[in-house]
Structure 1
């Protein structure tokens, strides 16, 4: 076992007559703010960029280079669910909504989906299989993880310019010390997830003070 993702799952699907196989992954379940973003990627097995791996195992510079390479050779689409939708549905359901939106955006409707994780999103009408730690096992899912990570990081950099002081350009909205300190000192923004405990607690404190 090489420890690197490969095309085993994709080729197994091809052998079953499923020719258009896409990998699906999401990023942004853990942050306190911003959207959860999913990507769907259908690779051409003959044109797979070198070095694809779980986005968490790559440097930011390497992710950016691979992002461009993926877009140049693959069918790629993204979908997101907003902080408001996360509060309305819960983070797991919102993640699955984002995944479904990404799949719907592909230029060619897939015959089969490789989904990172242990669940198939509700509402999918396409053949699919969940793959635990899929971003380190399937090249299609690894590609999707890179696309999702790069685009969400860019979104958070843009939001950081609109709401300076929270460090989103560095922490991508995750509950780091600088983010939590800013949340207490600067308050809750429209992009924060009210249902997440640190944000919820501050909103409760503000409500108590205002009464």
Structure 2
């Protein structure tokens, strides 16, 4: 069943993928097309596992935590099998993207809202540790499983939900380098660039406030000088 499929080890799945088709099929293609062919096979393995996971865990309360664990597991398997070769890191992301593309519209809405909610919680936690070492590295680790939605249709509802959570955070805490870093790393996940505009508008507003405050101080100084 799907739950069992989601727990298959990537190594076993790759073996099945390579050996499970007749000559001329995907398995033969892996061997005959060299690096590119193997990368495409790995993409297929990843996509299959992620699809099975989403089918089995689509409505689970801990969907995103489990999704992140699956990403880390498949990322680790990719590095174990193929090292840091860019073709396979790319294949990993494409496999996740391919699986997310298969979601129905209601499922995509649910997943994108859960992604945005989870990231909100993680960013809130990071806000509380900004004085400690390594928040930038931690942020990159948090965001990596979600960057795969860049360019997907799923990015549109994700952006919609994300900007609402972002708005709440900005009202509660104001702008910070952390919010800017998130937007910078996830830029293509925001096709309408609403979060970028929100941060830009806020920065402009703050700059205008500073200029007005400076103007008021200069006016006070001028009046004091006139009184003297």
Give me the TM-score of the superposition, normalised by structure 1. 0.38
Give me the TM-score of the superposition, normalised by structure 2. 0.36
Greater strand share, structure number: 1
Greater helix share, structure number: 2
